[in-house]
């Protein structure tokens, strides 16, 4: 029989009591501690009546045991058939065997040797009153350990993944106030989710948004907040550059002022540089989108500017400042939903693509979704929907395909059969994501009233597939994705919130506001981007020019003549969703 340190017997183990702990003269001596007793694994038998249904040590626990060994001693007693039976610690024994440990720490339970009923009660008692660390407490432990250990050392000792260790350390560094708010939320946190709060630990308003979140996944809510923060910072930078260049920037959209792309500078289209010296020159930076500045003249007639395509000057005086109000089909609520939807669609795309990147990094398809992936890939290749016909051919040259693993012929040659389905999914995923996210008409995919390269129906099929495999692998769709997947209108992340302060009745919409919502014409864009500043005029910052992104043209679907006319120019985030009214306004303006 293998050697046992402090071998147990039926009467109990031969325990070594630290010196100085008994009675008599030894009490004033320093205690001398010995190593904990160890017993060879080969002498141990798992309890035949172990009440746990899951008796196997998982991979993460085995990784930890392989590095740090067994920390908590096993409770053992004698086995009627010889050797020793494990009363408490059967999963630890399983891990020890799986990683090849020779011996494990133990303590001998003499009182259970002849009392099997008591053995079962010990299983109950040791588990029932053992309180696991909360996620916040785990984060605190990882953060404290990180002060003296590397992330790699922590990962090996705990069996946690690199991502979990990184997230735990980040979560452990949260401010006391952020930890308090997180603890007070009715939410079951993970280390990764707790770490998402770090950028907002000193932002009470953002934390309040997260706390009252009821309808949206946490990652999506956090992405919305990050996008909003980035947009505000970008807009502030654009405004600061304009003001530094001497441009008057107004806070609100200028009612009655005329945008420069509608005016002429002699024989040429009016540009911001050419108009810089005019007393009526102002700029307005929309609070949505890419914060592209718009340039206006407050009184074209007074300052001698002609309206493009006519021989007349623009309106002057009070008439210019107070435009006629016309009844419009767009209510305040509908306009708000359009702005909300554009932001939501962009944020949802970022979160979804980050999850797809992680999911597609797997070598093989997970068993519980392998059939779903195989059917979807086969169906897509057989039916070849429009988004795939248009994008699949060139998708391998895209950054999206590279982010999703960028598989090559060599990857295919080295893959196992189950892995081929994941490889085949990568270009399909990249094609759909390129077609439903981005700038230009792609941002309209979520809408029911606008053309987009990928129809809402095809986008819905893709999102339903992602939601199906994601439900078993950590992805939860946002409200706007669910709306597209279900084929219903998007009414906001929280429909009740969208209607706060809104009014679904018909509201007057002024002509100037509708004109301001239209994109610059191509002539206006060219004038804005390529004009040379007038002598002595302040230069417009480069960011004001470069902020207009190049438009990626997509092949339009066949439409009726009036619909095509209505779609010639894109409409900004705050537009009216009614295409007929927009088309009429554009034709009249032309």
Pairwise CA distance, residues 336 & 357, whole Å: 32
Packing angle between helix 204-211 and helix 218-244, nearest 10 degrees? 150
pLDDT at 564: 31
Q: Which residue in this structure is represented by tokens 């619909």?
A: 563
User: Dmax of the chain from CA atoms?
Assistant: 117
Pairwise CA distance, residues 383 & 389, whole Å: 10
Cβ-defined contacts of 210-216 (< 8 Å, 24+): 210/185, 211/181, 211/184, 211/185, 214/494, 215/479, 215/493, 215/494, 216/478, 216/479, 216/493, 216/494
Spatial CA neighbour of 121 closest among 87, 92, 93: 87
Structure tokens at 399: 């950054």
Structure tokens at 290: 């890419």
CATH class of 38-129: alpha beta
Residues of the chain with pLDDT under 70: 1-29, 31-34, 311-331, 495-590
Distances (CA, A) of 153 to 159, 161, 190: 10, 11, 21
Q: Where are the domains of the chain?
A: 38-129, 135-212, 227-306, 337-495
- What is the SS3 assignment for 509? strand
- The string of pLDDT tens digits covering residues 427-463 is 999 999 999 998 889 989 999 999 999 999 999 999 9
Element (H, E) at 167: helix 162-172
Beta carbons of 206 and 224 less than 8 angstroms apart: no
Beta carbons of 588 and 458 less than 8 angstroms apart: no
Spatial CA neighbour of 554 closest among 461, 456, 447, 442: 442
Pairwise CA distance, residues 201 & 181, whole Å: 9
- The string of pLDDT tens digits covering residues 197-208 is 999 999 989 998
pLDDT at 556: 39
Spatial CA neighbour of 478 closest among 466, 493, 465: 493
Structure tokens at 448: 């029911």
Beta carbons of 517 and 491 less than 8 angstroms apart: no
Structure tokens at 276: 């810089």
Pairwise CA distance, residues 212 & 224, whole Å: 14
* Count of Cβ atoms closer than 10 Å to residue 538 Cβ: 16
Q: What is the DSSP string of 65-127?
A: HHHH---SPEEEEE-TTSSEEEEE-HHHHHHHHHHT-SEEEEEE-GGGTT-HHHHHHHHHHHH
Spatial CA neighbour of 79 closest among 49, 51, 58: 49
Beta carbons of 211 and 200 less than 8 angstroms apart: no
- The DSSP bridge pattern shows strands 44-45 and 306-307 to be unpaired
End-to-end CA distance of the chain: 99
Beta carbons of 387 and 555 less than 8 angstroms apart: no
């Amino acid at each position: 029989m293998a050697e046992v340190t402090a071998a147990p017997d039926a009467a109990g183990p031969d325990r070594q009591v630290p010196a100085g702990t008994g009675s008599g003269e030894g009490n004033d001596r320093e205690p001398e501690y010995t190593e904990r007793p160890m017993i060879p694994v080969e002498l141990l038998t798992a309890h035949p009546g172990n009440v746990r249904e899951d008796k196997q040590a998982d991979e993460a626990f085995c990784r930890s045991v392989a590095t740090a060994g067994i920390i908590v001693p096993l409770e053992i007693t004698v086995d009627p058939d010889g050797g020793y039976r494990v009363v408490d610690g059967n999963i630890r024994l399983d891990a020890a065997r799986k990683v090849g440990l020779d011996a494990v720490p133990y303590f001998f339970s003499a009182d259970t040797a002849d009392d099997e009923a008591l053995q079962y009660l010990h299983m109950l008692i040791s588990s029932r009153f053992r309180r696991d660390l909360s996620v916040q407490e785990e984060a605190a432990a990882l953060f404290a350990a990180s002060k003296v250990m590397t992330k790699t050392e922590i990962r090996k000792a705990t069996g946690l993944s690199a991502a979990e260790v990184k997230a735990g350390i980040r979560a452990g560094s949260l401010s006391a106030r952020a930890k308090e708010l997180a603890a007070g939320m009715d939410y079951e946190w993970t280390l990764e989710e707790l770490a998402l709060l770090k950028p907002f630990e000193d932002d009470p308003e953002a934390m309040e948004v997260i706390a009252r979140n009821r309808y949206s996944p946490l990652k999506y809510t956090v992405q919305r907040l990050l996008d909003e923060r980035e947009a505000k910072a970008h807009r502030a930078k654009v405004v600061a550059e304009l003001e530094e260049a001497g441009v008057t920037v107004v806070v609100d959209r200028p009612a009655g002022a005329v945008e420069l792309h509608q005016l002429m500078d002699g024989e040429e289209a009016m540009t911001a540089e050419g108009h810089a010296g005019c007393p009526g020159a102002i700029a307005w930076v929309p609070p949505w989108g890419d914060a592209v500045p718009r340039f206006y003249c407050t009184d074209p007639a007074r300052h001698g500017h002609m309206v493009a395509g006519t021989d007349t000057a623009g309106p002057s005086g009070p008439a210019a400042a107070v435009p006629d109000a016309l009844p419009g089909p767009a209510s305040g609520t509908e306009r708000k939903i359009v702005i909300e939807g554009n932001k939501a669609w962009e944020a949802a795309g970022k979160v979804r693509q980050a999850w797809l990147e992680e999911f597609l990094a797997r070598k093989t398809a997970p068993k519980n979704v392998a059939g779903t992936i195989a059917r979807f890939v086969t169906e897509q290749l057989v039916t070849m929907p429009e988004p795939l016909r248009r994008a699949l051919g060139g998708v391998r040259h895209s950054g999206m395909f590279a982010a999703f693993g960028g598989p090559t012929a060599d990857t295919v040659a080295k893959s196992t059969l189950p892995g081929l389905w994941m490889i085949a999914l990568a270009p399909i995923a990249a094609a759909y994501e390129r077609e439903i996210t981005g700038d230009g008409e792609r941002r309209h995919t979520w809408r029911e009233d606008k053309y987009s390269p990928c129809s809402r129906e095809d986008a819905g099929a893709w999102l339903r597939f992602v939601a199906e495999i994601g439900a078993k692998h950590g992805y939860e769709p946002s409200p706007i994705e669910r709306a597209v997947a279900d084929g219903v209108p998007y009414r906001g992340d929280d429909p009740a919130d969208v209607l706060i302060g809104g009014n679904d009745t018909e509201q007057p919409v002024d002509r100037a506001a509708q004109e301001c919502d239209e994109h610059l014409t191509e002539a206006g864009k060219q004038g804005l981007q390529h004009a040379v500043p007038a002598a002595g005029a302040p230069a417009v910052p480069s960011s004001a020019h470069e902020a207009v992104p190049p438009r990626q043209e997509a092949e339009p679907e066949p439409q009726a003549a009036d619909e095509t006319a209505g779609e010639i120019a894109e409409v900004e985030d705050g537009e009216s969703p009614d295409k007929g009214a927009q088309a009429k306004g554009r034709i009249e303006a032309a």
